Amino acid sequence: MKQIFLFTAEWCPICKTLEPVMDKINATVMPVGKINIDYEMDRTKSANVTSIPTVVLAENGQEIKRFVGDKTYEQVLEFIR
């Protein structure tokens, strides 16, 4: 089973741009786990996230791939495929 996670922070302007895209993914494709790096530091560190926004696609608990930065809805759909 595939899962997608968004590592984000309230103070990040690029995160605010990506958030509506990920909300649409959440509503139409698959649930998006949002991880606030300021509150979930251990999880952020264990995922080796050093820049935000970072989106991680995992399958059966293992990371498949990731991207950093902003993307359109269509680009995120392609990333998931």
Q: If you average pLDDT over residues 63-74, what whole number do you get? A: 97
**Does the active-site annotation cover 78?**
no
Query: What does the pLDDT look like over 7-65, one tens digit per residue?
Result: 999 999 999 999 999 999 999 999 999 999 999 999 999 999 999 999 999 999 899 99
| Alpha-carbon distances of 64 from 1, 9, 10, 29, 67, rounded to whole Å | 12, 23, 26, 17, 11
**Does the active-site annotation cover 12?**
yes
pLDDT at 61: 87
Q: Which residue of the set 5, 6, 7, 15 is catalytic?
A: 15
Do residues 38 and 15 lie in contact, with contact meaning Cβ atoms separated by under 8 Å? no
Contacts of 35 (CB under 8 A, 6+ apart): 5, 6, 7, 8, 43, 44, 47
Domain range holding 40? 2-80
Q: Which residue of the set 12, 30, 64, 80 is catalytic?
A: 12
Q: Residue 21 maps to which CATH number?
A: 3.40.30.10
How many domains are contained in the chain? 1
